Amino acid sequence: MSTFTVYGTELTSRFLLGSAGYPSPQALGDSIAASGAQVVTVGLKRTLAAAGDNGFVAGILKSGVRLLPNTAGCRTAREAITLAHMARELYGTHWIKLEVVGDEHTLQPDPWGTVEAAAQLIKNGFAVFPYCTDDLVTCQRLLDAGCEVLMPWGAPIGSGQGLINPFALRTLRARLPGVPLVVDAGIGAPSHAAAAMELGFDAVLLNSAVSQAVDPVRMARAFGLAIEAGRTAYEAGVMAPQDMAVASTPVSGHPFLIA
């Protein structure tokens, strides 16, 4: 499977994995290994709420992955900016997954707050991975602010609905051909991840579908295989759907030679 590059870093895995909600640190570590992921997200706000990480982050780093701290739980641009600076100090990375929630029911990102926070963080030297909706104009504003990667949702976070608006996702891919696009949130099954990759997206980020599985390790492997299959299919050229039946074994009009 081909590599892709974000903020000057080449990644060989197109699977970005979350770290919340696993039954044990061992299950998390084994799931990371099974997934093949090179980037793992960690929520600083949730870590602080748990009164310290108790070696949680060190355990993740033992897997040899790169941390992508996130601002999950933030409701304003100011709060997200503050948390991003704390994450940079604590984890020693300028990478940040930016989340600014605008609606309590759907946990939909606030487009104005996200763009505002992204612009400021980029000025402060961060490599911003913004969690956003599949709205093309919002995505364009984030690119104008200096973001080099976008992370549109497939569905509301944790819902497991898959790709609820394939048309919007296809539009993003077509209108932003040179931008790394990562489907983030709402993925519930390996087939959803494969579908995202077949649309030409560069990677998938998910958490709950693995951490809440009966067997997280096997599910992580299943997602890794699905993502690889979907990307390989995209690169090979997925057959376009047609309105009418087309014979797969024509009996005339196609000469061939017999040795």
| Residue 45 among the catalytic residues | no
**Whole-angstrom Cα Rg for the chain:** 20
Cβ distance 223 to 15 under 8 Å? Answer: yes
Catalytic residue among 45, 62, 97, 123: 97
Phi, then psi, of 192 in degrees rounded to 5: -65, -45
Cβ distance 69 to 91 under 8 Å? Answer: yes
Q: What is the pairing mode between strands 4-6 and 9-11?
A: antiparallel
Residues 6 or more apart whose CB falls under 8 angstroms from that of 13 comprise 35, 36, 37, 38, 39, 224
In 3-state terms the chain splits into helix, strand, coil percentages (rounded to 5) of 40, 15, 45
Of residues 165, 166, 168, 175, the one with CA closest to residue 143? 175
Cβ distance 145 to 117 under 8 Å? Answer: no
Going 98 to 103 to 108 to 112, the CA torsion angle's sign is: negative
List residues with catalytic annotation: 97
